[in-house]
Structure 1
Amino acid sequence: MASLLDQAGKLGWILLRALLRFFFMFLNNCFAIPSYCLFLILLQPLRIMDSRAFWHIEGVMFRWLLAMVSSWGWIAGYTVTEWGDDVRPISEEEAMVIVNHQSTGDVCTLMMCLQDKGTVVRKMMWLMDHVFKYTNFGLVSLIHGDFFIRQGKAHRDKQLVYLKRHLDQFYHSRERKWIVLFPEGGFLRKRRETSQAFAKKNELPHLEHVTLPRLGATQVILKTLGVQQENGTLGAAGDGPANITAATQTGASKSRQGLQWVVDVTIGYPKARPMDIQTWIFGYRPPTVTHVHYRTYPIKDVPVETEALTEWLYQRFVEKEELLAHFYKTGAFPPRKGQAEAVSRPMTLDPVWLCAIQTWAFASGYLWYSLLQHAYCWLF
């Protein structure tokens, strides 16, 4: 009887905590997201006079909102350990980030682990499924200039045209530096069977922990944002004579170098149990460490033509398969070439800063509520 009462008490506490977390996050969204939108409406004259200053301010507030989401997981004990290359030294250079995709928690994990990477979060552009547009955070992403892509063969060709147009219009004009995409085009559990059948039919590697990536968006990004040399390879502006540059195509500053890196990110969850957004919201899973592995490639080493790029991209996901197989077997990612053993780095967030972000969210929300209430009373 005592055991049953203890279990009922624990279950009751878990449910109560989940409800309290949900209520807090609901209020968080109700205060922070409208405040973000209203501040940007107020700053529209600045956008006309000095668009660079406007998008700088917008980027700072965007980073705060992502930190707010990160804090939900941080408070529940969901942390990140990093492996592989240290990407902080290249955080101020332009990069394309390719990530394996297992669940909605992948986005939350990236929101958290990129917080301490310089100006990356406020200067990044996300490529995500169009369904995300209709979530509570969709309006923020729409204003920030992220791209929502529709999946499926029926939409593929048009979406790539829209993507190129979007990059030409928003990437350089809004001072973006990193662009994040999930080349698999969907969650692992949804695409694995189809990917394995395609691999078997075309004599490609059999993958269990990732799926074969799709080429389209990756190639559009490389061709649009990279600097193409006369020999057809990519390189930073100044590496040699170039016949096409992203900067001149978009009217951006000539000082921009174009894409300089590809950052290959592999996310691993303990026991291959992905963290989803519901877990971040309700916090019903015990404290969990998500492991993130980085590998960087200079853009000059990345081919841009279809056949070579397809082979290069497939090889990256074969490597991800090997990394994850090792991780699920040992609990750690393997060492890099030249290392005797792998070295991990715990990613930390400043709790004082997180508290300040939350205070700003609620204070600004209350400010706007008071102002709008007074305006309504004055008008009516």
Structure 2
Amino acid sequence: MAITMDRTGKIVFLLLRMLLRFTFMVVNNMVAIPSYVLYLIALQPVRFIDRKLFWHIEGVMFKWLLAMVASWGWIAGYTVVEWGDNIHAITEDEAVMLVNHQATGDVCTLMMCLQDKGMVVRQMMWLMDHIFKYTNFGVVSLVHGDFFIRQGKAYRDQQLVLLKDHLEKYYRSRDRKWIILFPEGGFLRKRRETSQTYAKKNNLPFLTHVTLPRLGATQVILNTLVPQQENGTVSSGDKVSVGRKPKGLQWVIDATIAYPDADPMDIQTWILGYKQPLVTHVYYRLYPIKDVPMETEALTDWLYQRFVEKEQLLSHFYKTGTDFFSINYASLSDCNVTLQNPLIRPFQHSLNSTWENNTFPHLDPLFVLCLSRGSRSSERILDQPSNPALFMRSI
């Protein structure tokens, strides 16, 4: 009887907390999003006087809105560990980020990851499914200049033309730096069977944790934004001195998102917070644009190889259940991790008393990032496993 009452009490507490979180999210959106739109309407005179200043202000407010979404996960105890190459080093350069797509929570995870990447979060362009246009955040993305892609063979060619026009119209004029792209063209659960069938027919790699990427959007982005020299070759993606940095894409960021037990988070989980606190892992690889082929066949092979590597990374992660490189996490227990915001600290104790958090028990379950200082080697990481030096950050 006591056990039943205790279980009932936990369920009631969870439902009450979910209701309170949902109410807070609704109020949060009803205040923040109209405020964003109204401020930009009021600032229209600035747009005509100084377009650069106007889009700078818009970028600041856009980052605040993304931080708002990220905070929903932080408060619920959903944290991120980042591995691989240090993408902080290229936040002033132009880049396209290629990400595997498992669920709607991928976008929220990236919003959390990118908050500490300098000004780049203000100057990024998202490419997402057109259905997001009709969500509460759709009007923000529309104003910011993100691109909504309609899926399906009937729309494919038209969408690529529209994407090229969109990049030419908005990427430069709004001083964009990074583009976020999900090359698979849909969620893993929806595309896996089709992708595997296509792979069997065409003697391509059989993938389980990712799907074969689609070339179209990636190729349009590269052809439109990669700087070309007079002889037609791609200019170097290496960093150059201030004042001489060429305009155009300089890097491709290969990002792999991995969830514990291969159970991706959706937006409902992010909003309601009904899952136990968990740690999502994100692994980065950096490729200078000069190392990325531009010809269709070579680019297709290169892109397929990136997703084969993602498959291997994720397979290893799900087998070990903890990390990409079998790091001894006990070595991190000496790190001094604290929450910088004392107002959030009470939420942590509430979460710890509610859930039995067995994930990284020696780490602070809120506002913790493990970031790696990896090299920019273009050699395959799986051919030469490394042991990246980790450092802890409080957000």
Structure 2-normalised TM-score?
Answer: 0.82
Consecutive unaligned residues of structure 1, counting only runs of 5 or more, are 240-252, 350-380
CA offset digits 1:244-297 (Å, max 9, x no partner):
xxxxxxxxx996421000000000000000011000100000001000000000
Matched, 1:332 2:323: yes
Deviation at 1:175, TM superposition (A): 0.5
1:304 aligned to 294, 298, 305, which one?
Answer: 294
Q: What residue is the counterpart of 2:280 in the other structure?
A: 290
Contact kept, 8 Å, 2:236 with 2:288, in 1: the verdict is no
User: Aligned equivalents of 2:120 and 2:238: distance in 1?
Assistant: 23
1:317 aligned to 293, 307, 331, which one?
Answer: 307
CA offset digits 1:276-326 (Å, max 9, x no partner):
100010000000100000000000000111101000000000000011011
Q: What residue is the counterpart of 1:176 in the other structure?
A: 176
1:261 aligned to 226, 251, 261, which one?
Answer: 251
Are residues 31 and 342 of structure 1, via their aligned partners in 2, closer, same or farther at CA, if it must alter by over 3 Å?
Answer: same
Q: What residue is the counterpart of 1:360 in the other structure?
A: none
User: Aligned equivalents of 1:289 and 1:153: distance in 2?
Assistant: 37
User: Aligned equivalents of 2:246 and 2:44: distance in 1?
Assistant: 26
Q: What residue is the counterpart of 2:341 in the other structure?
A: none
Contact kept, 8 Å, 1:100 with 1:265, in 2: the verdict is yes
User: Taking every aligned residue pair, what percent have the same amino acid on both sides?
Assistant: 69
Amino acid at match of 2:387: E
Are residues 289 and 221 of structure 1, via their aligned partners in 2, closer, same or farther at CA, if it must alter by over 3 Å?
Answer: same
Deviation at 1:190, TM superposition (A): 0.4
Are residues 12 and 74 of structure 1, via their aligned partners in 2, closer, same or farther at CA, if it must alter by over 3 Å?
Answer: same
Q: What residue is the counterpart of 2:84 in the other structure?
A: 84
CA offset digits 1:192-241 (Å, max 9, x no partner):
000000001000011010000000000000000111235554224999xx
Instruction: Spell out the pairing of 1:1-380 with structure 2 (5 A cutoff).
Output: 1-230=1-230, 232-236=232-236, 256-330=246-320, 331-334=322-325, 336=381, 340-345=386-391, 348-349=394-395
User: Aligned equivalents of 2:250 and 2:264: distance in 1?
Assistant: 31
Give the CA RMSD over aligned residues: 1.8
Amino acid at match of 1:75: I
Consecutive unaligned residues of structure 2, counting only runs of 5 or more, are 327-380
Secondary structure, aligned partner of 2:323: coil
The size of the alignment, in residue pairs, is 336
Secondary structure, aligned partner of 1:114: helix
Contact kept, 8 Å, 1:262 with 1:299, in 2: the verdict is yes
Higher share in helix? 1
User: Aligned equivalents of 2:245 and 2:318: distance in 1?
Assistant: 44
Q: What residue is the counterpart of 2:378 in the other structure?
A: none
Structure 1-normalised TM-score?
Answer: 0.85
